Amino acid sequence: MEAAPLRFVQARGHEDPLTLLGELGQSRYLVWYLADLGAKSAVVEPNYFDRDYLSEFAAFYCTSSAGYSNCCERAHYFATDVDRELLERAAGGDSAAYGLLQDSYLGFVVKRPIPGTPLGRTVLRWYVDDTPQLPRVVDPSRDYAVHLAGIELNVRGLAWQQQDAGVGACATVALWSMLHSSAFDDRHVVPTTAEVTQTAHRAGLSAQPLYPSRGLSFGQLIASVRDSGFAPLVVAGEQEHSRFKREHFCPSLASFIRSGYPVLVAGDLEGGNGLHAVCAVGFRQAASLDVAAGNVELEDTRTEYLYLHDDNLGPAARFRVEVDPGSEQVFLKTAPPAKRHSLELVDPTEGYPRFIPTALLAAAHNDVRITPDRLHSLALNLGTMIVSATGNAIGLTASSRIARLSNYLGQELSRVFSGNSALLARTRLALVETVAPMSLHLGVVRIGTGHAPLLDVLYDTTDSVPNMRAFCYVAYHPNMAHVVQQLIAFKLVSLGVEVAGF
């Protein structure tokens, strides 16, 4: 292999590696996505050893008579014109040049030397969020540090790649994306696609050959998560053919993602495409609306848009959650946001078939043993009790997440008590000093009226369902505390210690 200089090319120009891939669907999607991000140029590393591809090469491609190379190409995209002079200045320590590169850095695409499935590990920045009051929830995203000629550049996203159909199928790459989650930053080495496939085939779990990979069963996916050192949390559709109603699907998915866990969504891709798997990496937060008196609503039921890493399309493809009017079952339909560029490009998601989810799988920390199903069941029951105790005078909203104890005490309470530092301090100290030691991760059920929180119940995540208990509840208003006290006096619930957040 010979040394080769970096190449400085125009985005979408004839030397752009994505342009060179021609009409490949995923390549067209990436061109569109980068155009929306305002990509102007790319710096191409002609020789790049990619950890995932090396693993695929060692597992499969090295024995092919095609004589594949073990070396990839990596293209870095920028929202400014980057030329050799700018890069030289940054490489020489010029802080202004470095700042310009970092501010305009959009992410990277690895191109494998596999002609049929060239798109390897890809991390691109998210679009700007235009409605932060109802944010795009992308908690699983993480920071990736990349090095270009000794210059460290950072991009926040979650890795995507095209299935190669040799080492990995769609389920493999969806699982691989999941295990990149920010939630596991502190104690985990991300497995390669080859390792994911090998783990799934351990101990006679499949009668299929290991390579070329023809897909994994859902049972194999669960085993692969477990054997990778995580707790597999499954939520299955409750309708005929394991399909979902909206009230089950949206809150479950939102709860996982809000907890920092990307979700493998398995389901039927219509049009004779069979079973498919994608990785949900974000959703657009639904607005709270005033709920009619006497009712309890799971707030996330209104979730309208999801962002999916679909290996057929590309990273963070926006889908709309729709409901079949007859069966009331959920299906997902591509619904890209209005384009931000003025180029004449064909919408790469046009004509993509409907996707009907049947099961969700998340990889959680090993000590987490409860699913959003359990939290939502508790939320519905408790909300109904509260509403009923008031003589159906109010309507309530409810939502859930799994949170690390330190994050709940830190960021979450800080947000809830925004502008009231005395109350924030008192509540934090009460949680530490008056509640028995809590688990590392908490199941948080939040109940409110409209958009305003009234009550958090903090559940132990480390026990079995029959033994599951609440450590405490934080009431944000004295009236709510009185209602809960009445339920406890009636012996209808056990919610642990009361913490007054008012």
Site for other proteins in 451-480 (CB under 8 A): 451-454, 476-477, 479-480
Among 394, 405, 470, 472, binds other proteins (CB under 8 A): 394
Residues in the chain: 502
423 touching other proteins, by CB under 8 A: yes
Q: Are strands 452-460 and 441-449 parallel, antiparallel or unpaired?
A: antiparallel
500 contacts other proteins (rule: CB under 8 A): no
Q: What DSSP letter does each residue of 238-295 carry, written as one string? A: -SGGG--BHHHHHHHHHHHHHTT--EEEEEEETTTTEEEEEEEEEEEPPPP-PPPTT-
Which of 182, 242, 295, 407 is in the footprint of other proteins by CB under 8 A?
Answer: 242
* Residue choice 118, 140, 215, 496 for contact with other proteins (CB under 8 A): 215
Q: C-beta of 280: minimal distance to other proteins in Å?
A: 15
Q: How far is the CB of 235 from other proteins (least distance, A)?
A: 7
Span near other proteins by CB under 8 A; candidates 2-10, 107-115, 144-152, 388-396: 388-396
- Residues contacting 358, CB < 8 A, separation 6+: 236, 237, 241, 242, 243, 244, 266, 267, 268
Paired strand residues for 359: 236, 266
Q: How far is the CB of 350 from other proteins (least distance, A)?
A: 23
Decide whether 161 or 399 has the Cβ nearer to other proteins: 399
Q: Please report whether residue 133 would count as binding other proteins according to CB under 8 A.
A: yes
Q: Does 449 bind other proteins (CB under 8 A)?
A: yes
349-381 exposure pattern, b = at least 16 Cβ within 10 A, e = fewer: beebbbbbbbbbbbbbbeebbbbbbbbbebbbe
Nearest one of 447, 176, 183 to 298, comparing CA atoms? 447
Which one among 17, 157, 348, 501 touches other proteins, defined by CB under 8 A? Answer: 501
Q: Counting contacts by CB under 8 A, is residue 256 touching other proteins?
A: no
Two structure tokens written together for 104: 């305009």
The partner residues of 225 in beta bridges, in order of sequence, read: none
Among 20, 234, 435, 488, binds other proteins (CB under 8 A): 234
Q: Verify binding: residue 355, other proteins, rule CB under 8 A.
A: no
If you compute the radius of gyration of the chain from its CA atoms, what whole number of angstroms results?
24
CA 101/CA 79 separation, integer angstroms:
9
Closest CA to 363 of 258, 230, 187, 218: 230
Determine the Cα–Cα distance for residues 42 and 18; give it in Å rounded to an integer.
10
Residue 200 in contact with other proteins, rule: CB under 8 A: no
Q: In angstroms, what is the minimal distance from the CB of 134 to other proteins?
A: 6
In the region spanning residues 33 to 92, those forming contacts with other proteins, defined by CB under 8 A, are none
Q: Which residues pair with 318 in a beta bridge?
A: 307
Residue choice 84, 333, 415, 469 for contact with other proteins (CB under 8 A): 415
Stretch 289-328 residues interacting with other proteins (CB under 8 A): 289-290, 293, 299
Residue in 14, 147, 187, 491 binding other proteins, rule: CB under 8 A: 491
Q: Does 417 bind other proteins (CB under 8 A)?
A: yes
Q: Which stretch binds other proteins (CB under 8 A): 28-36, 42-50, 233-241, 334-342?
A: 233-241
Q: Total residues contacting other proteins (rule CB under 8 A)?
A: 89
